[in-house]
Amino acid sequence: MKLPLAKGTKRALLVEGGGMKGAFSGGVLHSLNQYLGPQNFDLVVGVSSGACSAAYYVTMKNPEPIKSERALSVWYKELSGRQLISLLHPFRGKTFLDQEYLIDFIFRKKVRLESEFLGKKGFPEFRIAVSNLHSHSIEYVKATSTNIFELLKAATSLPIATRGKQWLAGRLYSDAALLNPLPIQDLIEAGYKEIIVVMNSPVAHISKPLSLVTGLFAFPRNWKIAKMMRRWHHHNFNHARIIAKKPPNGIHIHTIAPDVPLPVSLTTTVRNRLFETVQLGTQKGEEAAAFLKDFFLGSQKTLKGTVQSRAKRQTPNKKPLRSKSKRK
């Protein structure tokens, strides 16, 4: 499944993953909810843990301070300590990262994701990026009320930390970040002209190639995907940041990213560090929302002016045609 071709404002929001670094994007989207709702985008794309934060954002059309704050608190209240990630989980028949706790308990019940709003009028289309383990390629699956929870499991199926794979519609999927952590290029190729990117590390951050050992442990029975992961993960990560800093002509890319490395890593579960990360994201989100509101308004005026100028250019061309027909 490819990304839908751009239409309307040709504006997309892309949310990066990164394990517990997703607490930053959670803060950013909380602020956007207060000032810039999801209806300002034609398409929202989430990768890995970024899909989790984006899922709450796209189901709140209007500012929802209480609901949004509750969703944001998941990062530092529900996912801290040993609830989500623990070395003791395997002794209890669980994976190191307990997806059942995250998706089936938190998202389905305790802090319920209102999935019934997915696909409704006035809400943007929400696509979640996943790696197809059969075709060894990235797919952008449309999130619906019937598939969202299994889709989120697929998006967060990290090798080693989880089983590394999830069945969805008869196929096995895994985290899209294995092959492409930040698919900006795919959005450009689909025709999107205004792209807002939420990054969970500084724009200048460079990713190093994954080690051979990591590939072996990640997919011991799938050498092809292990090899592709080692080849493409860092390449696409770094290439996306180059594009973000210097977009092609006619493409506007605005990045919302931390200025320095976050106080958390992929697996940090220390509450105060997660809370600090959330606060950093909230602050950056507020700054971005103020800028984007003016930017979007300017874009609408430009588009309106372009349409009017085209109409004016067409009018003189029509009059001679009509006058000629009259003389005949």
Residues with a known catalytic role: 48, 175
- Tell me the DSSP string of 235-300: HHHHHHHHHHHSPPTT-EEEEE--SS--S--TT---HHHHHHHHHHHHHHHHHHHHHHHHHHHHHH
11, 193 contact by CB (below 8 A): yes
What are the beta bridge partners of residue 5? none
Q: What does the alpha-carbon distance between residue 156 and residue 95 come to, in Å, rounded to a whole number?
A: 12
Structure tokens at 78: 């529900």
Look at residues 319, 298, 302 and name the one whose alpha carbon lies nearest to residue 310: 302
3-class SS of residue 183: coil
How many whole angstroms separate alpha carbon 84 and alpha carbon 161? 11
**Tokens 């795919």 -> residue:** 186
Diameter of the chain measured on Cα atoms: 92
CA distances from 107 to 40, 90, 268, 290 (A): 25, 22, 20, 30
Over the Cα atoms of the chain, what is R_g?
22
**Distance between CA atoms of 259 and 83, rounded to whole angstroms?**
30
Question: How many CB atoms are closer than 10 A to CB 149?
Answer: 16
Q: E strand or H helix at 11, and its extent? A: strand 11-15
Q: How far apart are CA 321 and CA 281, in angstroms?
A: 59
